[in-house]
Copies of this chain bind each other. A is one copy, B any other.
Amino acid sequence: MVNKLRQHIIDRLGSAPDNIDEVLSTFQMLKLKRNEVILTQGDICKYVYFVASGCLQVFVYDKEMNETTRDIITENNWCSELISFGSQQPATENIRTVEPSDLLAIDRQGFQRLMETVPQFDKVYKQILEASYANSVYRINTFVSLTALERIKWLMEYRPKLMSRLSSKLIASYLGISQETFSRLKGKL
């Protein structure tokens, strides 16, 4: 599990920092089952997670308690509620596993410490933030103007694996359409 993170860091920085083992030991390992909630709306987000294996769903509830999924994170990616993590304000989103997942978690103190002792770690954080931002912008621009069918085609083109890996219900909530519409439109392809 730790090796996946090691490899990820090496890929990001181009080479391994001298004290990579110190970096890795700052993370704690979590083995989670399906459907475990790791962050609840209103709580303070205490960790940034690296997904070594499995899959996470980042979502909110609307006023009728329907879920809307803002993001789906698969292995070798980072997941957190960065705004809450950074500001220590209550989180506006929920996070849960949608598959059994292995996570590596780092808390604020650990994060702070790495920022100071490992100069390049600051760069990793910036990269995570920039990637998250780029992802959000892309999602807004792609989705605000697309029809339901176009959103499905978009998903098949850019994240095809999700189509077979996840439940229809989850995908529909990620695309912002009803389960029934998703089911019907899939037939028309």
Contacts and interface: CB of A to CB of B under 8 A. Distances in A.
A82 interface: yes
A68 B136 contact: no
Interface string A162-184: 00000000000000100000000
B140 A129 contact: no
Contacts of A86: 130
A130 B93 CA distance: 16
Query: Among A60, A66, A82, A141, which residue has the most Cβ atoms of chain B within 10 A?
Result: A141
A138 interface: yes
A1 to B, nearest CB: 28
B66 A145 contact: yes
A92 B129 contact: no
A62 B130 contact: no
A93 B141 contact: yes
Nearest to A67: B145
Interface residues of A, number: 27
Nearest to A84: B134
B133 A68 contact: no
A112 to B, nearest CB: 14
A79 B8 CA distance: 32
B143 A144 contact: yes
A8 to B, nearest CB: 19
Contact of A145 (B62, B141, B146): B62
17 contacts: A60-B141, A66-B145, A68-B141, A68-B144, A68-B145, A70-B144, A83-B130, A83-B134, A92-B137, A132-B133, A133-B133, A136-B136, A136-B140, A139-B140, A143-B144, A144-B176, A145-B176
